[in-house]
Each structure stands twice: as structure tokens, then as C-alpha cells.
């Protein structure tokens, strides 16, 4: 099975998700900048979600660079990831329109948590298919970054519900920033010719 259609399909879904969110920003009726103010929280949550979906696309892109073949389970693990990502526009809209109230912020975290989990499952399946000595395994290591992110989301959900939803938002932003720093683990491995050979096997 070639990976090209899986990539094309994922690109299509992610491209739609990242642009569909903009439809949540309803054009205001007023004609001055003041009429844009109610949209500001929606806009801020849009930026955050744009970055998150961008991170997923970016990592998806990197991860499949070192993948040669895909099989049934990987297709479904990928669809599972896309399912959780597809809920991001909904929770983004709910969080933004309600000015970052506790429960919408917590639900946003739940979707981030499940997306992260789905990504992790996908990565594990790909590694299992490639073997413990694969480039992917070496690049992702034990997935510390992924695990810390998911723990952070879980903490943020609790904070949103029982303490302060703005602190939870700050955690989401912080995790996004950590991922924004380019993840060079895979790039480094690809450029290292020794590991490259391992990948082409």
C-alpha cells in the first residue's frame, strides 16, 4: 500500500479544518472597528486552533516522511486522529463565543487530549510496523514530548473546571509554543546518512 493517498486525504481534511474555523467568525453588521470587538475572543481562539492544527499537519508531514508502507490499521488510526481534529472547529467556536468560560475551555482541552492520544497511537502503530530499529523509533524516542503534552492538557482541564479557565488557556498556549519550536528529531535522523539507510530498508 502506498502512503501517497493517505497523505493526500489527510492534507485535504486538515486543510478544510483549518479554513472551516474561519466560518465561525460571523461577519458583523456594524461598519466600524468597535463592531469587531465581540468577535475578538473568537478570533483569538481561531489563532490558537490554527496553530494547533498547523502543528499536527507539520508533525504528520514529518512522521510520514520516514514511512514507506501503510496498512489497514494505520489507515484507521489516521482516520481516528482526523476524527478528533475534526472536532476542533466546534470546540474552538464554543470556547470563543463564550469568552473562555470554564466548561468550554475544559472541552477544548478534552479534544486536544484525545487528538494527542490519537496521534500517539498512530505513531506507535507506525513504529510497530517499521520495527524497533527504524528511523521513526529512534526519532520519536519514548515520546516524552507527546506524553508531557497530554499530561499538561489533563492538568489544564482540571484547572479550567475547578480553578481558573485563563490559566488553562495559558497552558494550551504554552504547549503550542513548545511544539512550535521545530521538532528536529526526525529531520536530524533523515540527514544522518547512517539512519537513512535504516529507513530505506
Handedness of CA 101, 104, 110, 116 (dihedral sign): negative
How far apart, in whole angstroms, are the C-alpha atoms of residue 174 and residue 168? Answer: 10
CB of 1 to its own copies, least distance (A): 6
The candidate with the shortest Cα–Cα distance to 187, out of 179, 177, 196, is 196
Is position 18 an interface residue for its own copies (rule: CB under 8 A)? Answer: yes
Which cell numbers in the block locate residue 22?
474561519
31/144 with CB nearer its own copies: 31
Q: Give the residue, chosen from 104, 130, 140, 153, that forms a contact with its own copies under the rule CB under 8 A.
A: 104
Q: Give the residue, chosen from 44, 68, 97, 117, that forms a contact with its own copies under the rule CB under 8 A.
A: 97
How far apart, in whole angstroms, are the C-alpha atoms of residue 22 and residue 96? Answer: 12
CB of 17 to its own copies, least distance (A): 6
Helices (H), the chain: 4-20, 40-65, 72-86, 88-97, 102-130, 135-140, 144-162, 165-180, 184-191, 193-200
191/201 with CB nearer its own copies: 191
Return residues touching its own copies (CB under 8 A): 1-2, 5-9, 11-20, 22-25, 27-29, 31-33, 36, 47, 50, 54, 57-58, 61-62, 65, 71-73, 75-76, 79, 82-83, 86-87, 89-90, 93-94, 97-98, 101, 103-104, 107, 180, 182-184, 187, 190
Amino acid at each position: 500500500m502506498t502512503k501517497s493517498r493517505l497523505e493526500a486525504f489527510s492534507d485535504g481534511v486538515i486543510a478544510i479544518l483549518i479554513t472551516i474555523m474561519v466560518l465561525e467568525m460571523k461577519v458583523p453588521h456594524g461598519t466600524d472597528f468597535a463592531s469587531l470587538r465581540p468577535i475578538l475572543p473568537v478570533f483569538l481562539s481561531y489563532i490558537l486552533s490554527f496553530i494547533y492544527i498547523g502543528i499536527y499537519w507539520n508533525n504528520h508531514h514529518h512522521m510520514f516522511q520516514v514511512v514507506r508502507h501503510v496498512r489497514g490499521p494505520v489507515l484507521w488510526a489516521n482516520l481516528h486522529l482526523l476524527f478528533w481534529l475534526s472536532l476542533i472547529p466546534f470546540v474552538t467556536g464554543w470556547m470563543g463565543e463564550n469568552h473562555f468560560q470554564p466548561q468550554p475551555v475544559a472541552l477544548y482541552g478534552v479534544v486536544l487530549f484525545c487528538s494527542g492520544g490519537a496521534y500517539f497511537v498512530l505513531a506507535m502503530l507506525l513504529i510497530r510496523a517499521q520495527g524497533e530499529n527504524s528511523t521513526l523509533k529512534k526519532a520519536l524516542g519514548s515520546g516524552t514530548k507527546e506524553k508531557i503534552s497530554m499530561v499538561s492538557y489533563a492538568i489544564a482541564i482540571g484547572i479550567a473546571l475547578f480553578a481558573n479557565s485563563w490559566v488553562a488557556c495559558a497552558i494550551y498556549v504554552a504547549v503550542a509554543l513548545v511544539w512550535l519550536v521545530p521538532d528536529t528529531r526526525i529531520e536530524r535522523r533523515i540527514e544522518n546518512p547512517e539512519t537513512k539507510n535504516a529507513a530505506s530498508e
